[in-house]
Amino acid sequence: MALALGGFFVLAIVIYRNPKASPFGLGDVYPAGMIGVMVGLDDMVRPLCLGMIIAGVKLGGHLMAKVLDRKRTVAHGPYLCLGELLTLVLR
């Protein structure tokens, strides 16, 4: 499983290569760590999945409407925070 995820990571770096911006950084690791502290490690999956789903729906709509192109980098932190907020409110 880890090998497959590592392969997807490398594939994404090759596909989304942009010399002006790096699509992968550690900026989302800190909010993910705080989510783990706030909701607990046993409930960590729900906010992360919600954040990814919300980001995918919103950004997919922007891609289909030609507002964004696939080479543009987008911060994932706000979507992680929204997923955490929804998890805490809907508990």
Q: What is the 3-state secondary structure (H, E, C) of the chain?
A: CHHHHHHHHHHHHHHCCCCCCCCCCCCCHHHHHHHHHHHCHHHCHHHHHHHHHHHHHHHHHHHHCCCCCCCCCCCCHHHHHHHHHHHHHCC
pLDDT of residue 40: 79
Return per-residue pLDDT of the chain as tens, 91 residues. 677 767 877 777 676 665 565 555 666 777 777 788 888 777 888 888 888 899 889 988 988 898 888 777 777 888 888 888 888 888 7
Residue 8 lies in a domain: no
Residue 54 lies in a domain: yes
Domain that holds residue 72: 25-89
How many domains does the chain contain in total?
A: 1
pLDDT of residue 34: 79
pLDDT of residue 57: 92
Residue 17 lies in a domain: no
Residue type (1 letter), 60: G
Residue 47 lies in a domain: yes
pLDDT of residue 14: 73
